[in-house]
Amino acid sequence: MDANHDFSRNVLRGNTDGVRVRSYVTNSTLPTDEPWANATRNRIANNSHGVHLQGVVAGSTTYSVWADVHDNNTIGSFGGVLGNAYGVWIDAGTVDLTKFRTWWNDVRSNGQGVHVAGPDPGPGNYFAAYCNWWSHDTGPFDPSGPAPAGLPDWNPTGQGQPVSDYFHYRDEVPPPPPQTQRWWLDAPADQETECTPAP
């Protein structure tokens, strides 16, 4: 399924990309807007990339893309259907990371839950993937670290989905009280009502 699109309650499986958001340039055309997708309550499985975001650079201009993947998407296996090779695949250099969000989903049984390709986008440019179920209450498996290697997060004892570097799966800085620092869900998204730090 290509963007721009709001979509909900679909089964997207058995393709190269379950959801693909991209920009491209030909000799005669340039993108006129920023492609996007807004996805809720979908089942995305058995694809090479469950969610695939990639813009393009033409000359000195970056034509970026973004997505909001939220509220009970299953990105990975369900009902005997295999997971994706990559749950979410992002080209860091061409995705608008200030707009991209992955929130309150199940990310499970993929080869890699989230993969961010390209150079380190740098502090202030990492996207947020808080409050997701990574298939285990200890969170995603992220062995790259500690800082300055493997920025910005590090979770070498996580028993959930393996993930790459260059995105936040928990708040970098705890918010002021009475708010709590958001980490990951400790049960599947449809069973949870709050996102709180792991004990």
Domain ranges of the chain: 5-191
Structure tokens at 77: 């296996």
* pLDDT higher than threshold 70 for residue 121: yes
Predicted confidence at residue 1, as pLDDT, reads 45
Which comes out higher in pLDDT, residue 63 or 180? Answer: 63
pTM for this entry: 0.90
Closest by CA position to 154, among listed 162, 144, 169 = 144
How confident is residue 2, by pLDDT bands cut at 50, 70 and 90?
very low
Indicate the SS3 state at residue 190.
Answer: helix
Candidate from 18-27, 82-91, 122-131 with smallest mean pLDDT: 18-27
Distance of CA 23 to CAs 107, 125, 145, 166, Å? 25, 20, 32, 22
The residue type of 78 is F
